[in-house]
A and B are shown apart, each in its own frame.
Chain A
Amino acid sequence: MKSYNSSIVTKQGLKQLIENILAHKYRLLAPKKSGEQLSFETILRAEEVVLNQLLRTMTTLSPKEVFFPRTEPVLRYTGQEMHDVEPPTPETVLFGIRPCDARGLELLDKVFTWDYNDKFYLKRREATTIVTFACSDQASVDEHCFCLGVGGDPTASSGSDLLLSTNGDDAFLLEVITEKGERLLNSCKEGVELQASDKRAADQLEAIKDRFVRKQDLTEVRHKMPEYFDSDQLVQETYRCLGCGICAMSCPTCHCFDIVDEPKAGTLGEGARVKNWDACSFALFTKHAGGHNPRELQCQRCRQRYFHKLAYYPQKFSEESLCVGCGRCSRSCPVGLDIYQAVTHVLGKGRA
């Protein structure tokens, strides 16, 4: 993927671009505050997109739900009759995800295309153009962010179609990353003043990197996995885990799911087979119907999640970690568990 071109756009110009996206009948999804939550919602009016907020706060749940919903039907049935289901795929613009999220989607692509193509995920991916907000603002990075430790980069373009970064107080640098991005821009740029620029967002990177308090490299784990597998230190670090699924469900790359049949309320013999989010932290996740559970203890379940991210996925699919360092799991963990802290402590101690 090459960088096509970059230009400077003012805040006003960006607002115009959003107006145009809406005017062109794209479905626009962007972070929006509802109650105390920032989440990806359908935007109906341009002013619902609050740029400052978007730059500073990360959504509680990741944008994976746009492609891999918490629940979705994979087939419907009426009595003995089955009906195929197509995922709803309106032309969509996903606006304001972070570079870590965009990278997460590329990692998920590998899972959902591994020998068997999951059309529910892939059709949504095809129909969606991704406009990423680079973590280019000083306030974009908080104490939980650690993308640098898992091979990420706060201004990376990988996985994005268009990339926006702040450029001074009132302007943004807009980079076209893919043809898809270019198509979106071409169809929506009327009235948007674009001033050609040869700047790269990467120029600001060094300053942003200094904002990170978490920079230790976690990818080392995969090379020493057998050594760390039985680490007492890891057991200690995860002892307080209570086994809820917040970490997996807020994660941009956790993709475990359950398949259940869901009868339709108020009908007899009608319903759908649905794919629901699931989590390896749940005690029942691996429990056999016969009672045996290969992962009996909560610390084993935590280890599964950490190592799936940092060792198993790289071993299976690519050299990259499945963890993108967004920090959502540690921001939301009700008992303050923290994959970065746990793993760096294990790396520090080895087999304690």
Chain B
Amino acid sequence: MNSIHEVREEARKLLEEKRVGMVIGYGKGKGKKNYPIFITDPQKVEELHFESDCFYNLAVYLRKPEVCSHGKLAIVVKGCDARSVRGLFSENQLKSEEVVMLELKCDAKGIGRDKCTTCRVKNPLTPEEKNPIDGEIAKILAMPMEERFRFFAEEFKRCIRCYACRQICPHCFCKTCIVEKSEPQWISSTPSPLGNWSWNFTRAFHLIGRCVECGECARACPVGIRLDILNRYLAKSVEEKYQFIAGMDEKAAPPLTTYKQNDNQDFIR
């Protein structure tokens, strides 16, 4: 869609014809800033807005029980959110007939840390060539191992286990997160160096080939941990090794969640 007016019109129709029970979008609420809003009344579609501060990835709400209880949903998506929704389709978390995407071209810039400057899908489905984080990754890769270790140890030291990274991520959809499993306790829930290290790395590993690099985790992190670097590096590796970019094709399952007879197995010794 080309404008918020078209989105509003479509949202109104969808609600009026009861093709969806709720529209998830951006609105101004009572303040000046835009927030996620949830519309069930077709009379209220005028509350939908779309401006440069609409940086939230609304796809995360598609798994919130209160929202799901409204049946079929429509969601306003930018390029990055659209990738999330397609990623959820590809992992059978949502059925494409249950979600209507109201896709808009995004012109958000520079909100949060690099969240939008690293975007490769401002124009939905047109990957741009260069990602600014790649330069930072190159610097880390050039470090000797001990220094690299120190870099991440310093980052994770700050983690307070608020789990904002997990809660804001559309792809952290596990019903029981591994950190909440206590029999056995796979990951320490204590915000100590060891616990923080295992938590942040395990979460990153679980997102390999699934992360759409929307940058929400790094934006949400109250103590500024460079989760974006970690996730970008892993996404980049998947792209290089499997020629796979998450969330581009709703039919293509992430490579690490599938198994083929002829998969490379020489790492098993």
Contact = CB atoms under 8 A, between A and B. Distances in A.
A binds B: yes
Interface string A321-352: 00000000000101110100100010000000
A21 B27 CA distance: 51
Interface string A9-53: 000000000000000000000000001110100000000000000
Given A297-B66, A299-B66, A250 B190 contact: no
B162 A246 contact: yes
Interface of B: 29-31, 33, 35-38, 56, 60-61, 64-66, 113, 158, 160-164, 166-168, 180, 188-192, 194-195, 216, 219-220, 222-224
A71 B161 CA distance: 11
Interface residues of A, number: 38
A297 B69 CA distance: 12
A81 B195 CA distance: 24
A188 to B, nearest CB: 31
Contact of B168 (A260, A334, A338): A334
8 contacts: A39-B158, A242-B164, A244-B163, A249-B160, A249-B222, A250-B222, A297-B66, A298-B64
Nearest to A348: B30
Nearest to A279: B162
A221 B188 CA distance: 39
A-B residue pairs, 3 tightest by C-beta = A334-B220, A244-B164, A245-B162
Contacts of A4: none
Contacts of A127: none
Given A70-B160, A260-B190, A61 B222 contact: yes
A39 B222 CA distance: 11
A36 B113 contact: yes
Nearest to A69: B191
A277 B160 CA distance: 8
Contacts of B188: 262
A280 to B, nearest CB: 13
Contacts of A345: 30
A297 B61 CA distance: 14
A282 B177 CA distance: 12
Contact of B164 (A71, A240, A334): A334
A274 B113 CA distance: 33
Given A35-B224, A61-B223, A334-B216, A244 B189 contact: no
A279 B160 CA distance: 11
Given A37-B224, A244-B163, A249-B222, A71 B191 contact: yes
A196 interface: no
A37 B180 CA distance: 28
A70 B36 CA distance: 30
B161 A277 contact: yes
Contact of B35 (A35, A249, A274, A335): A335
A244 B222 CA distance: 11
Contact of A242 (B35, B64, B222, B223): B64
B99 to A, nearest CB: 18
A145 B141 CA distance: 42
Contact of A335 (B56, B163, B180, B223): B56
A284 interface: yes
Contacts of A253: none
A243 interface: yes
Contact of B161 (A242, A245, A297): A245
B187 to A, nearest CB: 12
A298 B64 CA distance: 9
B163 A282 contact: yes
A265 B187 CA distance: 12
Contacts of B195: 262
Interface in A242-286: 242-246, 248-250, 258, 260, 262, 265, 274, 276-277, 279, 282, 284
A244 B191 contact: no
- Interface hub of B29, B61, B161 (most chain A Cβ within 10 A): B161
A178 interface: no
B8 to A, nearest CB: 20
A125 to B, nearest CB: 21
Contacts of B113: 36
A317 interface: no
A245 B221 CA distance: 11
Residue with the greatest number of chain A CB neighbours at <10 A, chosen from B35, B38, B166, B223: B223
Contacts of B35: 240, 335-336
A144 to B, nearest CB: 11
B153 to A, nearest CB: 14
Instruction: Report which residue of A70, A258, A279 has the largest number of chain B beta carbons within 10 angstroms of its beta carbon.
Output: A70
Contacts of B216: 334
B220 A244 contact: yes
Contacts of A36: 113, 224
Contacts of A282: 163
A298 B66 contact: yes
A341 B32 CA distance: 12
A60 interface: yes
B190 A71 contact: yes
A249 B223 CA distance: 11
A9 B2 CA distance: 61
Given A258-B189, A277-B191, A284-B180, A240 B36 contact: yes
